[in-house]
């Protein structure tokens, strides 16, 4: 039985999405696939038990028989953290992880292990990615989110330094069209000359990172002011309306399917937003808009959300979820699967992890 530990240099790089896409592809190719998330830093309740939301989602998509809490053996709750901080001796979770690994591996050809949101995670409880991968004998696949020419190289070299021989290679994700030639012609040869494999370059797709109106309502605790409300309407861009109406209109025309965040008293900005491709208005400061805005929003099919927080606090809340590839919709999962099938060299990846 083989295993591959999928991790990333920073959060929201597409780690869970890659786990799902690889799992589906492996199943399609005839392999029996299991999954484990050794450490979760985001406790989530399932049937009254602490587990991990990603583990529950992967279980559903891949049709796994294990319960979510069996797929996430160590969940760092506040109580567990306090126990660690108060303990005079070191608490060793490796045996617990190994037992879950052995149970999840039974009957499978390959086990997908999902690592933390970054290579910094896990040290406080003795479960950093390098140690877990070494203890389980797993090869490590690192997902790098493209964030600029220098950063993509530094991220790869940092991962190599931390992981050493456990590193199997990289998938570089969310590469914008204008950076594709730089990555393919310069970055990939540079890394491979240093003994690092790049299995694929995934192009940026704003639709995959998009939020829904429902996502905003939930994260902001927003009040919905319009009768028109389609929870799954997609938001591909976020724009703050804090300028003149003329400047706002010029800016708004550049960004389709957007959410415009502005004060509830900025009727001029709100009208400018309604003249362009806008999915919803987020009105801050608990300031009610004019009846004209509500009337025109209903006519144009634009949801209007009211929040108590100011504009900066609202943006900070949205930042906690914006940019994360959220694959709850079947269409988005299928789109990401297609990107992986088209842009990842699966034969090269299979060979690196020892699959025939």
- Per-residue confidence (pLDDT) for residue 331, from 0 to 100: 72
Query: Is the pLDDT confidence value at 327 over 70?
Result: no
- Per-residue confidence (pLDDT) for residue 329, from 0 to 100: 59
Those residues whose C-beta lies under 8 Å from the C-beta of residue 303, and which sit 6 or more positions away, are 213, 224, 226, 228, 229, 230, 233, 279, 280, 281, 297
The hierarchical CATH code for the domain 209-319 is: 3.40.1390.20
**Percent of the chain scoring above 90 in pLDDT:** 65
Query: Is the pLDDT confidence value at 168 over 90?
Result: yes
Q: Provide the mean pLDDT of the chain.
A: 90
Which residue has better confidence, 327 or 322? 322
Query: Is the pLDDT confidence value at 325 over 70?
Result: no
pTM metric for this prediction:
0.79
> What does the pLDDT average to over 187-195?
97
Is 285 in a helix, a strand, or coil? coil
Q: Where do the domains of the chain lie?
A: 2-204+326-353, 209-319
pLDDT band at 330 (very low <50, low <70, confident <90, very high): low
Integer Cα distance of 344 and 200 in angstroms: 4
Crossing angle of the two packed helices 291-300 and 267-274, in degrees rounded to 10 = 10
- Per-residue confidence (pLDDT) for residue 356, from 0 to 100: 74
How would you classify residue 336: left for phi > 0, otherwise alpha for psi between -120 and 50, otherwise beta?
alpha
pLDDT band at 45 (very low <50, low <70, confident <90, very high): confident
Query: Is the pLDDT confidence value at 332 over 70?
Result: yes
pLDDT band at 229 (very low <50, low <70, confident <90, very high): confident
Is 91 in a helix, a strand, or coil? coil
Integer Cα distance of 218 and 298 in angstroms: 21
**Percent of the chain scoring above 70 in pLDDT:** 97
- Per-residue confidence (pLDDT) for residue 244, from 0 to 100: 83
Query: Is the pLDDT confidence value at 323 over 70?
Result: no
Q: Tell me how far the alpha carbon of residue 321 is from its chain's centroid.
A: 8
pLDDT band at 44 (very low <50, low <70, confident <90, very high): confident
- Per-residue confidence (pLDDT) for residue 123, from 0 to 100: 92
Fold of 2-204+326-353: Rossmann fold (3.40.50)
Integer Cα distance of 50 and 139 in angstroms: 28
* pLDDT one-digit tens code per residue, 236-259: 888 898 788 788 888 899 889 999
- Per-residue confidence (pLDDT) for residue 355, from 0 to 100: 87
* CB 41, CB 117: distance < 8 Å: yes
- Per-residue confidence (pLDDT) for residue 344, from 0 to 100: 96
- Per-residue confidence (pLDDT) for residue 322, from 0 to 100: 66
* pLDDT one-digit tens code per residue, 91-110: 899 999 999 999 999 999 99
Lowest average pLDDT, out of 31-35, 130-134, 221-225, 238-242, goes to 238-242
* pLDDT one-digit tens code per residue, 259-291: 999 998 899 999 999 999 999 999 999 999 999
Residue in 143, 142, 147 with CA at minimum distance from that of residue 163:
142
> What does the pLDDT average to over 285-313?
92
């Amino acid at each position: 039985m083989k295993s591959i530990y999928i991790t990333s240099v920073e959060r929201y790089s597409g780690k869970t999405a890659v786990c799902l896409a690889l799992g589906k592809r492996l199943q399609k190719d005839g392999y029996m696939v299991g999954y484990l998330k050794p450490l979760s830093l985001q406790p989530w309740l399932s049937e009254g038990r602490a587990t991990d939301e990603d583990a529950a989602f992967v279980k559903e998509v891949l049709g796994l028989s294990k319960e979510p809490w069996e797929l996430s053996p160590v969940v760092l709750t506040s109580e567990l953290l306090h126990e660690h901080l108060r303990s005079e001796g070191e608490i060793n979770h490796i045996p617990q992880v190994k037992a879950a690994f052995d149970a999840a591996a039974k009957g499978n050809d390959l086990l997908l292990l999902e690592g933390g949101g970054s290579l910094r995670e896990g040290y406080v409880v003795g479960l950093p990615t390098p140690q877990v991968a070494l203890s389980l004998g797993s090869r490590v696949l690192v997902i790098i989110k493209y964030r600029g020419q220098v950063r993509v190289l530094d991220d790869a070299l940092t991962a190599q330094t931390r992981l050493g021989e456990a590193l199997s290679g990289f998938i570089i994700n969310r590469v914008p069209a204008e950076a594709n030639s730089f990555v393919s012609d310069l970055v990939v040869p540079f890394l491979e000359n240093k003994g690092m494999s790049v299995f694929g370059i995934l192009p940026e797709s704003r639709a995959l990172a998009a939020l829904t109106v429902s996502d905003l309502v939930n994260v902001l605790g927003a009040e919905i002011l319009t009768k028109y409300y389609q929870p799954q309407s997609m938001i591909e861009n976020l724009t703050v309306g804090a300028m003149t109406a003329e400047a706002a209109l010029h800016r708004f025309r550049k960004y389709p399917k957007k959410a415009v965040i502005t004060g509830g008293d900025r009727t001029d900005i709100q009208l400018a937003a309604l003249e362009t491709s806008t999915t919803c208005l987020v009105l801050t400061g608990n300031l009610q808009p004019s009846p004209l805005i509500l009337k025109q929003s209903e006519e144009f099919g634009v949801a209007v959300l009211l929040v108590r927080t100011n504009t900066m606090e609202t943006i900070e809340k949205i930042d906690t979820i914006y940019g994360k590839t959220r694959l709850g919709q079947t269409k988005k999962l299928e789109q990401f699967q297609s990107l992986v099938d088209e842009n990842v060299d699966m034969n090269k990846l299979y060979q690196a992890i020892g699959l025939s």
